[in-house]
A and B are shown apart, each in its own frame.
Chain A
Amino acid sequence: MPSPDALRRLLLEGAYQLLSAYSPTYEESRAVSVLKRFIMSRLRYDNVSTDSVGNLIASYGRGDASIALVGHIDTVPGHLPVRVEGDTIAGRGAVDAKGPLIAATIGASLARDAVKDKLRVYLIALVGEEGPSHGAWELVNRGERFDHVIILEPTGGSGVVIEYRGSASVTVTCRAPGGHTSSPGLNVSACEKLFQVIAALRSGLGDGFSVATTRISCGDGGGILPRTGVMKVNVRIPWGSGFRELDKALTESLISGCSYTISSYIPPARSRINSPLVRAIFRSLIRLSVRPSLSRKAGTSDMNILLGRVSDDVVAFGPGDPSLSHTDKERVSLKELSTAALAYASSLKELVNIRHRGRESR
C-alpha cells in the first residue's frame, strides 16, 4: 500500500489528466485514451481494452468469482477549467463521476496482490451514462455477467446506495377546435388541456413519484386558441411501483382530445441489504473510521439497467457531494478521493473473505 502522500499524488495525477480531457456524452474517446494510458503506465492491471461502443475495460485476477467496478467517463455538457486549490480539485465531472472513477481505478489496483488469486476484478468506464446509457446497454446486450457490481457514483463517500427510482419519458398531446381568444369560455385551448392533464397526473400518482415538465410546445401567440399542444414530462417512479401504475395514472388523467405515449421506461431498482457486497463495503468503511449509511436515490443510474441483467448484487458507492453533480461547482477533495480509493481496495479484500467464509460454513 502506498504512503498517504504517494496515494494523494497518484490520485491528483489521475484526476487532473481525466478532468482535463473534457468528455460530454458522445465525445468520450480522448478521455478513454487518457485513462487507458494512465492505467497502463501507472497501475497494475493485466488487460486494458475498449469495446465496440467505446467503453474502457481493465481487468486482472482469476478464480470463479468476479466483481466489476462500473463508472462512467462521460459528463454532462459544460466545460469547466480544471483547478487545484489546496486539497481540492475542480472541473467538469469531478463529482459526477470522474472522481469516483479514478478513485476506484486506483483502489482496485491497490488490492491486486491480496485478491488476484481469488477474484476476477474488472474496472469499466462506460460511455453514454448522461445520455441513452448505450455503454451500459452494450454490457447487457453482449451478455456480460458479474457476481458483484459497484456503481461508481458520488454518494458522499459514506452512503451505500441500494435503491434508485425508475424513470419514464412521456409525451402528452392535446388537440382542441380553436376559437377566438376573446372568448376562451366557449372553447378550451390545447395549452390549458395540457396543464389539466399534468395536474391530474401529479395528483393521481402516489407518494414517491415526481413529474418534471421538460418541454412545452403549444400555440403561436396569435389570436386563435391553440389547436395543438405537446408536452414532454419526465416521471420518476419509486420502488414498489412500476409501469402499470404509471400507465393507469396517465390513462385516468386524460381528458377529451388528449393522448399520451411513453417513449422510454426504466424500472426502479433495489438491491438486497443482506448481500455480500453491502457487507464488504460497510466493513471496509467501518475499518477506515467512516460511519457508513444505507441510502436511496431520487435519481436513476446505470444501476437500474445493470441490476438483474448483468449482476444480482449491485450497489452504488463513491466519493463526492452528490448535490454538486451537474452544477458548475463540481469539486472534490483529495482526502475524499484517498479515503474512497482505500475503501474500494479494502472492499475487494473484505468481499474475498466474506465469500471464503461463506463457502467454509456451507
Chain B
Amino acid sequence: MRLECPVCGLPVEVPDDALPGEVIEHDCGTVLEVVHDGDGVKLKPLDDIREDWGE
C-alpha cells in the first residue's frame, strides 16, 4: 500500500501486511511508525531512537 509521509508529504511504500508498531525509514530521512487509524493504518514520525548504555 502507498501512504503519505506526514513530514514531507511524499508517498511511502508500506507492506500490505504491516503491523502497527513497525518502523520504516523514508527517503526524506524521517523514521516513521505504522499506527492504527480506524480499521486501517497510517504513519507518524517515530518519537525517538532510544539511547542505550553499553554493548
A: residues with CB less than 8 A from B are: 96-97, 153-156, 159, 161-164, 272-274, 278-279, 282-283, 286-287, 291-301, 322-323, 325-326, 357
Contact between A298 and B53 (Cβ–Cβ < 8 Å)?
Answer: yes
Contacts of B55 in A (CB 8 A): 96-97, 153, 164, 297, 299-301, 322, 325
In the assembled complex, how far is the CB of residue B40 from the closest CB belonging to chain A, in whole angstroms? Answer: 17
CB within 8 Å for A294 and B50 given contacts A278-B23, A286-B21: yes
A-B contact pairs, 27 of them (CB 8 A): A96-B54, A96-B55, A153-B55, A154-B54, A161-B52, A272-B25, A273-B23, A273-B24, A274-B25, A279-B15, A282-B22, A286-B20, A292-B21, A293-B49, A293-B50, A294-B23, A294-B46, A294-B50, A296-B51, A298-B51, A299-B53, A301-B55, A322-B52, A322-B53, A325-B53, A325-B54, A357-B15
Residue B31 at the chain A interface, CB threshold 8 Å: yes
Contact between B31 and A294 (Cβ–Cβ < 8 Å)?
Answer: yes
Complex: how many Å from CA A278 to CA B46?
Answer: 15
Complex: how many Å from CA A294 to CA B21?
Answer: 11
B: residues with CB less than 8 A from A are: 15, 17, 19-25, 31, 46, 49-55
Contacts of A279 in B (CB 8 A): 15, 22
Complex: how many Å from CA A153 to CA B53?
Answer: 12
CB within 8 Å for A282 and B54 given contacts A294-B46, A294-B49, A295-B49: no
Complex: how many Å from CA A155 to CA B53?
Answer: 9
Contacts of B49 in A (CB 8 A): 162-163, 293-296
Complex: how many Å from CA A155 to CA B55?
Answer: 9
Complex: how many Å from CA A159 to CA B22?
Answer: 13
Q: Give 7 closest A-B pairs by Cβ, nearest first.
A: A273-B25, A299-B55, A295-B50, A301-B55, A299-B54, A295-B52, A286-B21
- Looking at A272, A283, A287, A291, the one whose CB has the most chain B CB atoms below 10 A away is A283
Contacts of A274 in B (CB 8 A): 24-25
Complex: how many Å from CA A80 to CA B48?
Answer: 36
In the assembled complex, how far is the CB of residue A284 from the closest CB belonging to chain B, in whole angstroms? Answer: 10
In the assembled complex, how far is the CB of residue A72 from the closest CB belonging to chain B, in whole angstroms? Answer: 9
Complex: how many Å from CA A274 to CA B26?
Answer: 9
Contact between A326 and B21 (Cβ–Cβ < 8 Å)?
Answer: no
In the assembled complex, how far is the CB of residue A248 from the closest CB belonging to chain B, in whole angstroms? Answer: 25
Contact between A282 and B52 (Cβ–Cβ < 8 Å)?
Answer: no
CB within 8 Å for A297 and B19 given contacts A273-B24, A273-B31: no
Complex: how many Å from CA A323 to CA B24?
Answer: 28
Contacts of B51 in A (CB 8 A): 295-296, 298
Contacts of A323 in B (CB 8 A): 53-54
Complex: how many Å from CA A163 to CA B55?
Answer: 11
Contacts of A300 in B (CB 8 A): 55
Contacts of A282 in B (CB 8 A): 19, 21-23
Complex: how many Å from CA A164 to CA B54?
Answer: 9
- Looking at B15, B20, B21, the one whose CB has the most chain A CB atoms below 10 A away is B21
- CB-nearest residue of chain A relative to B21? A286
Complex: how many Å from CA A266 to CA B12?
Answer: 35
- CB-nearest residue of chain B relative to A96? B55
Contacts of B24 in A (CB 8 A): 273-274
